[in-house]
Homo-oligomer: A and B are copies of this chain.
Amino acid sequence: MLIIALVDDSFIKGRISVEGGKRARMRALTRQKILQTALALFAERGYFGTTIDLISKRCRISKGLIYHYFTNKQDILVAVLEEGLRAGYDLLKGLEDIPDPFQQFAVMIERSFDEMLRNEAYWRLYFHVLLQPGVLELFAQRLTAFYQESIQYFVLLFRRMNVTNAEIEARLLTAMLDGLGLHYFLVGRDFPLAAVKNAIIQRYSRPLDGNVDR
């Protein structure tokens, strides 16, 4: 769960800018409420299944007011995606404090799976929405940047773990994580997530055993 930003109900709330007058604070507050509601609705009903009217009603504000904060429905989507990305960065950053690379790796994987389970609906949304023709373009740069940063993170980590071919390995791992999320979403509930997670941690764990045991 790397490329796709991890979102939960709280991550938007906490970010209200405190600077500025009362006016500005109110404005930021309303904006965040819209974003939060849109996020929940997009996740719940899809982008096309969510109407501006529905968002406004759930926010208990008027439809017109939404257009004071966002120019477009699409604009809301982009903002939502951006917030998600920020949450994704958070996920990465928190890990740097763990000194042992193997342990850090294990925690990263654990956290990744945890987030996937907690915010399943958001994941679906992100995958779904970014694969929509025309949407990716709006967001490609930032997404790519985040992807690069994630890869970089694992490259550095893998080097400390003495994994050879660290870059390719990083790409494979992140792909595997997102792919597992995808499959978990698509093939349903009886997916052996715990076993899979442990296998991943095992594979990269000290001492340097092969990933595929024979």
Contact = CB atoms under 8 A, between A and B. Distances in A.
* Secondary structure of the A contact surface, majority rule: helix
B178 A182 contact: yes
Given A175-B183, A186-B143, A214 B208 contact: yes
A124 to B, nearest CB: 5
A134 B47 CA distance: 12
B210 A212 contact: yes
A31 interface: no
B130 A186 contact: yes
Contacts of A161: 214
Interface string A9-33: 0000000000000000000000000
A155 interface: no
B172 A199 contact: yes
A59 to B, nearest CB: 19
Interface stretch (A91-99, A106-114, A162-170): A162-170
Interface of A: 3, 43-46, 48-49, 124-125, 127-128, 130-134, 136, 140, 143-144, 147-148, 161-165, 168-169, 171-172, 174-180, 182-183, 185-188, 191-192, 195-196, 199-200, 203-204, 208-214
11 contacts: A128-B133, A136-B185, A144-B186, A144-B187, A164-B214, A165-B199, A172-B176, A172-B199, A175-B179, A178-B179, A209-B210
